[in-house]
Copies of this chain bind each other. A is one copy, B any other.
């Protein structure tokens, strides 16, 4: 993680806003709160950003871009469905781990986007989810995965686990993001049961 000093003023504003939005939620965070965090007056924020929502937009869409890049790379390889799922999970976790704060905002605050941004965001998300669902379906049809589990349930369980990670993962813990991804993939593919 870089020091704030290495970031442009606009990037500092966005990063501070991300922390604020994560802590208090977007709607409960005021521009005066944000200004205070940065040691300036609220009106001064508007020389760096156009509006409060513009900050949310860049946080949400920048994360979305990273997730899509990661998944596209996994899809481009000649992997089995099991491998695609495993590396897809690891990639998703690593993208989140690069910015846990932005990840938490991405997950919890995107609903405060106004139209047409909200619609665009949800389309990106459903596309991403469907590509993971396709991997699970491929695995089921090729006999790698059970065919008995409901595919929607499987993919939503996967997503729930991935998306809540920023809420409890401690980046200073012994388990690093790559290993976290490995273990999460293992748990979802192989389950808790011994054997």
Contacts and interface: CB of A to CB of B under 8 A. Distances in A.
A69 interface: no
A159 interface: yes
Interface string A136-164: 10010001111101101110110111011
A1 interface: no
A51 interface: no
A191 B189 contact: yes
A118 interface: no
Interface string A154-195: 101101110111011000000100001001101111111110
B184 A188 contact: no
Contacts of A82: 193
A187 B153 CA distance: 9
A25 B111 contact: yes
A157 B108 CA distance: 17
A78 to B, nearest CB: 20
Given A163-B164, A193-B189, A183 B153 contact: yes
Contact of A168 (B139, B147, B152): B152
A160 to B, nearest CB: 4
B156 A187 contact: no
A143 B192 CA distance: 11
Given A149-B192, A160-B164, 5 more contacts: A25-B25, A25-B112, A85-B192, A139-B192, A149-B187
8 contacts: A149-B187, A150-B183, A154-B187, A154-B192, A156-B161, A189-B191, A189-B193, A190-B191
